[in-house]
Amino acid sequence: MASVEHLAGEIDDNNLRSGDVILNLYQEDEIIKAKTILDAKQYIKADQAHMTAGSYIRVKGKFHPGNQPRNLTDVSLFELIMP
């Protein structure tokens, strides 16, 4: 589970936004800040989660070690969970 903390995407030629997003990933009793790059469909879900109180994202991808924000790549699941 994750909350969307920051959106920094750019608008493409089709007038759709995609790009960098910062998430807070909730793992057991720890919160880990992660950075990922989203496509336009995923970015719409991230924006909805960011703007709707109590909304979260269920995300699955490859989590890289290192300093926070840690990189999250190969996102295979990005699902909006509304309250």
pLDDT digits (tens), the chain, 83 positions: 999 999 999 999 999 999 999 999 998 899 999 999 999 999 999 999 999 999 999 999 998 999 999 999 999 999 999 98
Q: Residues 6 or more apart from 49 whose CB is under 8 A from it?
A: 3, 4, 55, 56, 57, 80, 81
Structure tokens at 2: 């994750």
Q: Please count the residues of the chain.
A: 83
Q: Which residues pair with 60 in a beta bridge?
A: 77
> Structural domain boundaries of the chain?
2-81
> Can you give the pTM of this predicted structure?
0.91
> Residue 27 class from Cβ within 10 Å (0-12 exposed, 13-18 middle, 19+ buried)?
exposed
Rounded CA-CA distance 37/77 in Å is 13
